[in-house]
């Protein structure tokens, strides 16, 4: 099915990655690539970006909002800069963005904005973000939080006319990682989840064993996602669900992922009663699958839903 929509398009590319990868072993190269992909996907989740595809070591993503696309590009560059300060094998990214009417077919995107964003990525230097003037205008009032420098008109391959181009300024201030808070009365499970998520590039901002401590801290730590056990002290009955309901009401932008040792249809139905946006419900058996857990966290951070297949079967059976 073919459709059309207005979208902001982002392309990333790593500068000099071939040379970096060539200097290390195959196993190290795979680990570098996996860490990079995980971090980019985390940032996309924070800024509500949709991954379209990977292109070598780069990404193509789309956004509903021009402001989200620009903010994502800035966060990506901040993340890369901080990684270069801490990691041995430094990577440098360049980014191109544009916006406008695109055609969507079989999950891929086509049209002039796609070409513009791709060509701007190719024209950018290391650590640089280039965008079209139209994107800056579409960002409207929110563009005031970013610094834009007009670079003039660029002649870009495949485009019928020169494109007015801006550079988006950025610095190392501000958040860069997807922040996660954990609440589970099992310290061993809690620490295990924290360890695997940190390895996937998430920032664990809180670990607690009860719902009250979680709720008391939310306004300060501002997580993107809360992972909470369905049953917690003091009564080990509905504390996790009660906490999820309060978080949804008082912190509507926060994703919630509930973990349960077994399928509890009534608990799942209650959790989903007001809709599934930004909600996840996984059995603890799934926690051992790192990629599935990480994807669930990213999904609820973006406002999507991640419901365990066994739970879905119980609810619909």
pLDDT of residue 299: 87
Does residue 50 surpass a pLDDT of 70?
Answer: yes
pLDDT of residue 155: 95
Please write the tens of the pLDDT for every residue from 70-104. 989 998 998 888 888 777 777 899 999 999 999 99
pLDDT of residue 314: 77
| CA 122 to each of CA 31, 37, 109, 233, 239: distance values in angstroms, whole numbers, following the listed order | 25, 19, 18, 54, 51
pLDDT of residue 154: 96
pLDDT of residue 172: 67
Higher pLDDT, 119 or 83: 119
Higher pLDDT, 244 or 82: 244
Report the alpha-carbon distance of residue 52 to residue 71 in Å, rounded.
18
The percent of the chain in helix, strand and coil, each rounded to the nearest 5, is 45, 30, 25
Mean pLDDT for 211-220 is: 91
pLDDT of residue 129: 97
Length of the chain counted residue by residue: 317
Mean pLDDT for 195-213 is: 91
Please write the tens of the pLDDT for every residue from 120-174. 999 999 999 999 999 999 887 555 567 899 999 999 998 999 999 999 998 766 5
Indicate the Cα dihedral angle 118, 123, 126, 128, nearest 10°.
Answer: -80
pLDDT of residue 116: 97
**Beta-bridge mates of residue 307:** 281
Burial class from Cβ neighbours inside 10 Å (0-12, 13-18, 19+) for residue 15 reads: middle
Banded model confidence at residue 176, pLDDT cuts 50, 70, 90? low
CA nearest neighbour of 184 among 259, 245, 267: 259
Report the alpha-carbon distance of residue 18 to residue 58 in Å, rounded.
12
Lowest mean pLDDT among 60-74, 115-129, 284-298: 284-298
Q: What is the mean pLDDT of the chain?
A: 89
Report the alpha-carbon distance of residue 234 to residue 83 in Å, rounded.
41
The answer to whether 90 and 33 have CB atoms below 8 angstroms apart is no
Banded model confidence at residue 207, pLDDT cuts 50, 70, 90? very high
Higher pLDDT, 66 or 46: 66
pLDDT of residue 293: 92
pLDDT of residue 228: 95
pLDDT of residue 141: 56
Mean pLDDT for 103-127 is: 96
Domains along the chain with CATH numbers: 2-168 (3.30.70.1230), 179-316 (3.40.50.2300)
pLDDT of residue 139: 84
CB atoms within 10 A of CB 137: 13
Report the alpha-carbon distance of residue 299 to residue 297 in Å, rounded.
5
pLDDT of residue 106: 93
- What is the b/e burial string over 106-116, where b = at least 16 CB atoms within 10 angstroms of the residue's CB? eeebebbbbbb
- Looking at mean pLDDT, say which of 61-65, 244-248, 275-279, 282-286 comes out highest: 61-65
pLDDT > 90 in the chain, percent: 52
């Amino acid at each position: 099915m073919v459709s059309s929509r207005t979208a902001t398009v982002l392309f990333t590319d790593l500068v000099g990655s071939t040379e970096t990868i060539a200097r290390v072993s195959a196993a190290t190269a795979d680990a570098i690539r996996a860490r990079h992909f995980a971090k980019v996907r985390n940032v996309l989740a924070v800024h509500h970006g949709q991954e379209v595809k990977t292109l070598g070591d780069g990404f193509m993503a789309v956004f509903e909002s021009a402001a989200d696309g620009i903010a994502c590009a800035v966060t990506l560059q901040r993340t890369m800069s901080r990684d270069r300060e801490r990691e041995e094998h430094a990577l440098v990214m360049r980014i191109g963005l544009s916006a406008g009417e695109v055609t969507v077919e079989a999950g891929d995107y086509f049209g002039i904005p796609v070409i513009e964003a791709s060509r701007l990525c190719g024209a950018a230097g290391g650590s640089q973000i280039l965008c079209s003037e139209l994107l800056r205008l579409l960002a409207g009032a929110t563009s005031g939080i970013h610094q834009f420098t007009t670079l003039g008109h660029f002649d870009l391959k495949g485009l019928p006319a020169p494109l007015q181009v801006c550079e988006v300024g950025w610095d190392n201030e501000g958040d860069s990682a997807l922040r996660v808070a954990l609440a589970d009365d099992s310290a061993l499970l809690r620490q295990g989840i924290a360890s695997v998520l940190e390895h996937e590039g998430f920032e664990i901002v809180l670990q607690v064993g009860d719902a009250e401590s979680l709720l008391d801290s939310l306004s300060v730590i501002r997580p993107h996602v809360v992972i909470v056990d369905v049953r917690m002290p003091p009564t080990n009955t509905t504390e996790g669900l009660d906490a999820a309901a309060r978080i949804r009401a008082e912190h509507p932008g926060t994703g919630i992922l509930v973990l349960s040792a077994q399928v509890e249809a009534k608990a799942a139905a209650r959790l989903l009663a007001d809709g599934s946006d930004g909600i996840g419900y996984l059995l603890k058996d799934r926690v051992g699958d790192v990629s599935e857990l990480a994807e669930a966290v990213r999904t609820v951070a973006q406002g999507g839903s991640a419901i365990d297949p066994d739970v879905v079967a119980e609810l619909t059976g």
